[in-house]
Structure 1
Amino acid sequence: MSDKAFFEISTERAVLGIGGADRATFLQGLISNDTTRIGDSCAIFAALLTPQGKFAFDLMLVGDGERYLVDAEAGRRADLLKRLKMFKLRSQVTLDDLDADLVVVHLFGGDTLARLGLAAEPGQAKRLAGGVVFVDPRLATLGARSFLPRASAQQTLQELGFEAAAPGAFRQHRYGLGVPEGSTDLTPDKSILLECGFDEMHGIDWQKGCYMGQELTARTKYRGLVRKRLLPVRFEGPALVPGTILDSGGKEAGEVRAVDGSVGLALIRLEHLDALKGAGLSHFGTSVIADVPGWMKLPEPV
Structure 2
Amino acid sequence: MSAVSFCVLPQRGVFAIAGTDRRSFLQGLVSNDVNKVSANGVIHAALLTSQGKFLHDFFVAEAAERLLLDAEAVRLEDLRTRLGRFRLRAAVTLTVENDWIVAVAFGPGTAAALGLAMKTVHHLAGGGVSYVDPRLPAIGVRLMGMPSDVMETLHEAGCNETAQIAYERLRLELGLPDGSRDIVVERAGLLECGFEELNGVDFGKGCYVGQEVTTRSKYRGLIKKRLVPVMVEGPVPVPGTPLLLDGREAGEMRSATEGIGLALIRLEALAQAQHASRPFHAGTTRLFPRLPGWMVLPLRPGD
User: Fold match, TM over 0.5?
Assistant: yes
Aligned Cα root-mean-square deviation (Å): 1.7
In 1, distance between residues paired with 2:21 and 2:108? 40
Helix, strand or coil at the partner of 1:119: coil
The alignment's TM-score, normalised by the length of structure 1, stands at 0.94
Q: Is the 8 A contact 1:33 1:205 kept in 2?
A: yes
Q: What displacement does 1:165 show?
A: 1.4
**Residues 173 and 120 of structure 1: CA distance in aligned 2, closer, same or farther (over 3 Å):** farther
Paired position in structure 2 for 1:39 = 38
Q: Is the 8 A contact 2:143 2:150 kept in 1?
A: no
Q: What displacement does 1:300 show?
A: 5.1
In 2, distance between residues paired with 1:230 and 1:257? 9
Q: Is the 8 A contact 2:5 2:105 kept in 1?
A: yes
Structure 1 runs not aligned, ≥5 long: none
Paired position in structure 2 for 1:126 = 122
Paired position in structure 1 for 2:102 = 104
Paired position in structure 2 for 1:272 = 269
Paired position in structure 1 for 2:90 = 91
**How far does the alpha carbon of each residue in 1:127-160 deviate from its partner, in whole angstroms, 9 at most, with x for none?**
1344211100111111110113213432331221
In 1, distance between residues paired with 2:218 and 2:121? 30
**Residues 255 and 120 of structure 1: CA distance in aligned 2, closer, same or farther (over 3 Å):** farther
In 1, distance between residues paired with 2:21 and 2:223? 35
Q: Is the 8 A contact 1:105 1:148 kept in 2?
A: no
In 2, distance between residues paired with 1:246 and 1:276? 12
Q: 1:117 aligns with which of 115, 118, 122?
A: 115
**Residues 79 and 36 of structure 1: CA distance in aligned 2, closer, same or farther (over 3 Å):** same
Amino acid in structure 1 at the alignment position of 2:207:
C
| Sequence identity percentage | 46
Q: Is the 8 A contact 2:250 2:265 kept in 1?
A: yes
Q: 2:151 aligns with which of 149, 154, 163?
A: 154
Q: 2:217 aligns with which of 199, 220, 241?
A: 220
The alignment's TM-score, normalised by the length of structure 2, stands at 0.94
Amino acid in structure 1 at the alignment position of 2:40:
S
In 1, distance between residues paired with 2:300 and 2:238? 30
**How far does the alpha carbon of each residue in 1:275-300 deviate from its partner, in whole angstroms, 9 at most, with x for none?**
54545224332111111110011125
**How far does the alpha carbon of each residue in 1:71-114 deviate from its partner, in whole angstroms, 9 at most, with x for none?**
110000000001111110110001111121x2111111121011
Q: 1:191 aligns with which of 188, 191, 196?
A: 188
Q: Is the 8 A contact 2:102 2:145 kept in 1?
A: yes
State whether structure 2 residue 224 is matched by structure 1 residue 263: no
**How far does the alpha carbon of each residue in 1:109-128 deviate from its partner, in whole angstroms, 9 at most, with x for none?**
1210111122388xx21213
